[in-house]
């Protein structure tokens, strides 16, 4: 007997958005109706923003975050409708993608996740405007050495993404210095972001998000739901919601999340749209355990997932 194939669902984070990314998904039955309902909850015209808005508009943190969560959940709705993955498949999200993951695991209703993403994005955008901050990607280098080097510059390792990538976050002038003078053996690239995400600079956003989350009654996850904080599986909805709030000022440990996926026996992944970034990380770090990870960019890619599941 062949071992059971375990496919995990991955929800991407900010930076993966692109103009017109909703367009191919709006051809599917019911998607426009769902988006209208979510738009009402989020206070944004998600259909317009996901089909007609330009790159500069959707770069705005307040818009990018609810857009990404909404698109991921639209696509997962189609996966669920076609019964393309088992109901107990593990799920994990990167940064704001954890809101989509929470909805997929039943912790939040989809409309709650999109509305919470809108609050998160708007409050983080406000926090970014308080003082000049930024982020930069540090490629290569030994992780512990890179983290220590960043600390010496007063910067945080906001995202430890694995596969040789760490994202630095903090004061804009400190980011400029590490871009100009990288640590030996590394490459550093400034990122086009509004500010220092996942650091204490986002404390006002965390507090606002906590106040909003107080009105939500989360359910316990209905499948393995991994946390960015440490890669562990969280079994309490209340704990996961608390982690979602705290995550705004805490590092994203995607490296540990991928380790957690491996420990669950995951042999395949499907990244929800706007897909690509997480699939690239999986290909590099989990190449020995995950075969043929799928980046679900358009509805046409659903056939790849169907074929893979049929081959179980």
| C-alpha pair distances (Å), 27 with each of 24, 48, 53, 54, 69 | 6, 15, 18, 21, 19
Whether 153 is a known active-site residue: answer: no
Strands lying side by side in the sheet with 165-171: 156-162, 165-171, 133-139, 187-190
- Do the Cβ atoms of 209 and 248 come closer than 8 Å? yes
- Do the Cβ atoms of 77 and 34 come closer than 8 Å? yes
Residue 49 and residue 42: Cα distance in Å, rounded?
12
Tokens of residue 312, six digits: 């179980």
For the beta carbon of residue 35, count every other beta carbon within 10 angstroms: 26
Residues 6+ apart with CB under 8 A from 34: 74, 77, 110
For the beta carbon of residue 133, count every other beta carbon within 10 angstroms: 23
Give DSSP secondary structure letters for 10-71: EE--TT---TTTTGGGGGSTTHHHHHHHHHHHHTS-HHHHHHT--HHHHHSHHHHHHHHHHH
For the beta carbon of residue 109, count every other beta carbon within 10 angstroms: 15
Tokens of residue 261, six digits: 């996926």
Give DSSP secondary structure letters for 85-121: S-TT--EEE-TTHHHHHHHHTTSS-HHHHHHHHHHHH
Whether 95 is a known active-site residue: answer: yes
Tokens of residue 224, six digits: 């393995």
Catalytic residue from among 16, 39, 72, 95 = 95
| C-alpha pair distances (Å), 24 with each of 51, 63, 64, 111, 137 | 9, 20, 18, 21, 31
Catalytic residue from among 16, 94, 198, 250 = 198
**Residues annotated catalytic, as ranges:** 95, 198
């Amino acid at each position: 007997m062949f071992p059971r194939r375990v496919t995990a669902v991955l929800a991407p984070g900010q930076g993966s958005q692109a103009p017109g990314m909703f367009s191919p998904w709006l051809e599917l039955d019911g998607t426009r109706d769902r988006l209208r309902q979510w738009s009402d909850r989020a206070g944004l015209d998600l259909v317009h923003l996901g089909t007609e808005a330009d790159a500069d508009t959707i770069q705005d943190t307040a818009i990018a975050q609810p857009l990404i969560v909404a698109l991921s959940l639209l696509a997962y709705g189609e996966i669920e409708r076609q019964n393309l993955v088992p109901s107990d498949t593990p799920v994990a999200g990167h940064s704001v993608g954890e809101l989509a993951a929470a909805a997929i695991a039943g912790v939040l209703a989809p409309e709650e996740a999109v509305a919470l993403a809108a609050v998160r994005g708007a409050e983080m955008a406000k926090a970014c405007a308080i003082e000049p901050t930024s982020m930069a990607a540090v490629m290569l280098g030994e992780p512990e050495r890179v983290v220590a080097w960043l600390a010496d510059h007063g910067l945080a390792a906001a995202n430890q993404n694995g596969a040789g990538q760490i994202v630095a976050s903090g004061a804009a002038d400190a980011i400029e210095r590490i871009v100009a003078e990288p640590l030996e053996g590394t490459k550093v690239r400034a990122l086009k972001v509004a500010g220092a995400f996942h650091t204490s600079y986002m404390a006002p956003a965390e507090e606002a998000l906590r106040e909003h989350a107080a009105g939500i009654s989360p359910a316990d996850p209905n499948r393995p739901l991994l946390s960015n904080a440490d890669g562990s599986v969280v079994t309490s909805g209340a704990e996961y919601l608390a982690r979602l709030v705290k995550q705004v000022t805490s590092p994203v440990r995607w490296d540990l999340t991928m380790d957690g996926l491996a420990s669950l026996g995951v042999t395949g992944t499907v990244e929800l749209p706007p897909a690509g970034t997480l699939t690239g990380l999986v290909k590099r770090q989990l190449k020995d355990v995950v075969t043929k990870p799928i980046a679900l960019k358009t509805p046409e890619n659903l056939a790849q997932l169907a074929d893979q599941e049929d081959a179980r």
